A and B are shown apart, each in its own frame.
Chain A
Amino acid sequence: MRKPLLEVKDLQIKFETKRGTIAVSDGVSFAIGENETLCLVGESGCGKSVVAVSIMGLLPAHARVAGEIRYREADLLQCSPGEWSRFRGREIAMIFEQPMSCLNPVISAGRQIAEAYAANNRCSKREALAEARRKLDEVGIPENCFVKFPHELSGGMQQRVMIAIALACRPNLLIADEPTAALDVTVQCQILELLHCLKDRYRMSMLLITHDLGVVAEMADTVGVMYAGTMMELSGVEDFFYRPGHPYSRALMNVVAGNALSPIRGSVPHLLEPVPGCPFHARCVDAVEQCRRARPQPRIVNGRMERCHHFTGDNSGRQLDQMVSSR
């Protein structure tokens, strides 16, 4: 197997707050190869965004990060702030949800794109502006929006500007954190299509965070399922959809499959009070005594990883039963 572009190993992120330390990410590991898309899914509040932001090195000052984030040869966590900033924009770029709040309200759209280009390339102001115009065209924004301010653009347009900023320096890895969460459904499709198309054109790898399994089906090569700061399952997209292993994955799938009457019962545990055993046991239909006592360790069989005491590597039979019984 070729060396992956980004490799995250046993990432531990803790926030020190007035009310105690919160572990928002506990032992998350994954890898993204060249040209590959990894989708992180999970309910809100499970730590997906924090993992993404930690790869950019942009976590707030009270965050404590341990583990390893390896981009090509470099271990980003060992970098000084100055060295890390050289990866941002040029190698790894990120687009966020809520584009309105992520764009500076007092600088015109064109200048914000030009600034991203100028930050990582030696160039004159005029070159940067010209490059920004090309990018604007590429993401499908009309020419006259170049001088407009963010509040004068629609949500979809704002997200296109964010994409143009992210792609200004042709990064190798694009992190997209719920890029369509705040948008209308029709606009969501356009943005996703745009991302898909640009990914192919630029031969980028992508880390896409979403809770929309439809998006996952369309974009992902690999799927990571996160729950309460832990990576529960990491498998190829086909395995994930046709042979979902982890009870949590199956529960997610059930919700999407139209069983609106069977949402996952209970809610995500509070991170301030870590539960013993498997974090999902309180909501799991298959939980047994062992799940309440011991934290499952990741097990890897046939290229897929799962954290579940029930996991044996062959889920096909059980999955079929599950599908039949739930219909």
Chain B
Amino acid sequence: MPEYMLRRIMMLAPVLLITSFISYALICLCPGDPARLVLEAQLQGTPSQAQVNDFRADHGLNQPLMVQYVTWLKKAALGDLGKSLKSGDDVWDDYRARFVVSAKLFLAGELIAVLIALPLGIWSAVKANSIIDNILRVIALGGVSLPGFLFGMLLIYVCAVRLHLLPAIGYGKPANIVLPALTLGITGSMSLMRLTRTSLLEVLKLNYVRTARAKGLRERPVITRHVLRNALVPVITAIGMHFGHIVGGMAIIETLFAWPGLGMLLVDAASTRDIPVIQSFVLLGSAFFVGINLLIDLIYTLLDPRISYRAKEG
């Protein structure tokens, strides 16, 4: 297995290199001269040609794209991601601080999602086609069609505006996390519940489950020992992929609840065309996501002995 993981890690280097290039090259999408656009936004008016030239020289925008990219990547490797054009803050410091803020919200939400989705999904599959199963399926179908921010607004309306139970938006007090976490958890649990159910039903059809029953095992150990371990592999993958939401995937919910995490940072940067922040954001986000995917693969090899075996052969 170590060889397999080593090979996997080696294959990451080119992927990371190209994603970093794409992150930097996003600047090419800029309609018109980036220097002029940024200055226009900063000065709230038309910049003089001299100002534009200075800005270009300062930020190395006169050089060819490849040179700019290599300079940027070298600095980034040393932890210097530049400064925000808007606030002048160091991007890397900002990113780290906000990562923690987003991670808190994500973990709270995901915990709620898993606590709802797994028991209900398993119940639904074990009692397939019963009344309970049908009710849960209808709820889940409605749930996956309900956008998170709409559900968040409903929660704010009911819990904060009408009942005055909880603060609607903000960050800092423990009570602030309740509504955004519930929003993420409940809306996120719906697709997870569907996945758990279908995955379990897939495995329940397999021959080795019949063998387990033929041994004389009762239904409960059949489910816990033989069905769950295999059926939860796709569910664990999905949960792992959800971790990618920490680095910006919760942008809409964070903006709704004024939760100052990475998503909100990204949205702020996007609405003010803060190019250095956007670039570093994409770079760090993809690096994090690639790491998460590697971790999922590692968990896979632990859950399923066949994987490293196949890799060894092929």
Residues of A within 8 A of B (CB): 53, 56, 58, 61, 81-82, 85-90, 93-94, 96, 98, 101-107, 115-116, 119-120, 149, 151-152, 162, 165-166, 168-169
A111 to chain B, nearest CB (A): 10
Known contacts being A104-B208, A106-B303, is A85 close to B226, with CB within 8 Å?
Answer: no
B218 contacts which of A82, A96, A162, A166 (Cβ < 8 Å)?
A82
Please tell me if B88 contacts chain A, counting CB pairs below 8 Å: no
Known contacts being A105-B304, A105-B305, A151-B309, is A120 close to B211, with CB within 8 Å?
Answer: no
A82 to chain B, nearest CB (A): 7
- Say whether B230 contacts A106, CB under 8 Å: yes
Known contacts being A102-B210, A115-B225, A151-B306, is A81 close to B219, with CB within 8 Å?
Answer: yes
A215–B216 Cα gap in the complex (Å)?
28
Counted as pairs of residues, one from A and one from B, with CB atoms less than 8 Å apart, the total is 86
Question: Which of chain B's residues 193-224 have a Cβ closer than 8 Å to chain A?
Answer: 206-208, 210-219, 221
- Say whether B217 contacts A115, CB under 8 Å: yes
Q: Which 8 A-B pairs have the closest CB atoms?
A: A89-B216, A116-B215, A88-B216, A101-B207, A104-B208, A102-B207, A102-B211, A89-B215
Known contacts being A93-B214, A119-B216, is A105 close to B306, with CB within 8 Å?
Answer: yes
For chain B, what secondary structure do more than half of its interface residues adopt (helix, strand, loop), or is it mixed? helix
A220–B225 Cα gap in the complex (Å)?
37
10 contacts between A and B (CB under 8 A): A56-B213, A81-B219, A85-B213, A88-B215, A88-B216, A96-B207, A96-B211, A104-B230, A106-B305, A119-B217
Question: Which of chain B's residues 73-89 have a Cβ closer than 8 Å to chain A?
Answer: none
B211 contacts which of A86, A87, A162 (Cβ < 8 Å)?
A162
Q: Using Cβ atoms and an 8 Å threshold, which residues of chain B touch A105?
A: 208, 230, 304-306
Q: Using Cβ atoms and an 8 Å threshold, which residues of chain B touch A104?
A: 208, 211-212, 226, 230
A101–B205 Cα gap in the complex (Å)?
11
Specify the chain B residue showing the minimal Cβ separation from A59.
Answer: B210
Q: Using Cβ atoms and an 8 Å threshold, which residues of chain A touch B305?
A: 105-106, 149, 151
A182–B303 Cα gap in the complex (Å)?
28
A44–B224 Cα gap in the complex (Å)?
34
Known contacts being A88-B213, A89-B215, is A119 close to B208, with CB within 8 Å?
Answer: no
Please tell me if B96 contacts chain A, counting CB pairs below 8 Å: no
A120 to chain B, nearest CB (A): 5
